[in-house]
Amino acid sequence: MLAIKPPPLEGVASTHQDVVLRDLAWLAVTPDVVELPPPFPQAGRPSLGELGLDEGLDDWLQRLAIPVMAGNGHRASRMGHYHERLWHWLLDRAPNTCLLGHNLRITRKRNTLGELDMLYRRRDDPAPVHLEVAIKFYLGLPDGPGEATDQGRWIGPGGLDSLALKCRHLQRHQLPLSATPLALDTLSHWLTPRDLGPAAPALAAQLTQRLAMPGVLFYPWHAPLPPPEGATLAHRRGRWCHFSDWPALAATLPGDYRMAWLEKPHWLAPPPLETFTAPSGVLAGWLTKAQYQPQQVVIYHPAEQCSERVFIVPDNWPRQIPLPPR
């Protein structure tokens, strides 16, 4: 009798046991949280087709098992840096992309104006692409600044960041930086002659800006809230509740549900299914931590063979709300 293969969780196959491979798989298939308005109509994340991974993603990842382990991903502590390093691996080793550089500093008279996260090109198209990346987990506030769809109502679990602030910074600074004369001059010297052929058009005519912002938007359990302005239709969704509301939320779940806690920097892919346990015993210690700081959990529903994410936050959360951008 053949064993029943566990279902993929959030698009990640159960065959990937290594945490870095699972996070790479999640990164490759997870849609952006938001779309930016013009002048960045093409600013979405690189697709599986663009990466050359629209077929055979899992087999390709399995062949990366040894080098990914050597990439030191396990010892990353800051999620943003870890997330960027995963993109470096993906763009440099995917069949149809080539990483040209990362963390490219743009300076004027020894003053740093900013950094370009990544520069890459497709192997079938020499035109360079400036890619900014961010991974975001925002919780929506039923009461907050602006209208119900205002991006300022979506804040990070620490209360220091908001979707509105991030989008404004991307639009006003991070993405336009590569199109400035100083950046183009820097990139032209850096790329020539390795990547730009002698007959190629000017760099300004070739260079495009893109944004990859995977993540999860967590909707309040206790009140309705529409998606924020600019949210993609396919964005990943979760729920959040206060610590004292968790028993009521848990009472609505099927009796056989199982749970797993996520720890930074591995907030990306859900863990392997065999690591999920009943919501008792050792998990009680994790739940206690939610009295003092936000905790992210993944809940698995065996009957439906699906999972969902929940942020459990202290009862006095949020302690602060970022001011809207000017």
Q: Is residue 308 part of a domain?
A: yes
Number of structural domains in the chain = 1
pLDDT digits (tens, 9 = 90+) for 97-119: 999 999 998 887 777 788 999 99
Tokens of 179: 């199109």
For the entire predicted model, the pTM comes to 0.91
Q: Is residue 303 part of a domain?
A: yes
Q: Residue 73: its pLDDT value, please?
A: 43
pLDDT digits (tens, 9 = 90+) for 159-200: 999 999 999 999 998 999 998 888 888 888 777 555 555 544
- Per-residue exposure over 227-241, b if at least 16 CB sit within 10 Å of its own CB, e if not: bbbbbbeebbebbbb
Q: Is residue 5 part of a domain?
A: no
295-301, strands of its sheet edge to edge: 154-155, 136-140, 215-220, 236-242, 306-313, 295-301, 258-261
Q: Residue 68: its pLDDT value, please?
A: 47
Q: Residue 1: its pLDDT value, please?
A: 46
Query: By residue range, what is the domain housing residue 217?
Result: 19-313
* CB 276 within 8 Å of CB 241: no
Q: Is residue 323 part of a domain?
A: no
Q: Is residue 158 part of a domain?
A: yes
Residue 105, SS3? strand
Closest CA to 202 of 213, 216, 191, 215: 191
* Numbers of helices and strands, H then E, in the chain: 10, 11
What's the chain's length in residues?
326
Q: Is residue 284 part of a domain?
A: yes
Residue 44, SS3? coil
Q: Is residue 3 part of a domain?
A: no
Q: Is residue 9 part of a domain?
A: no
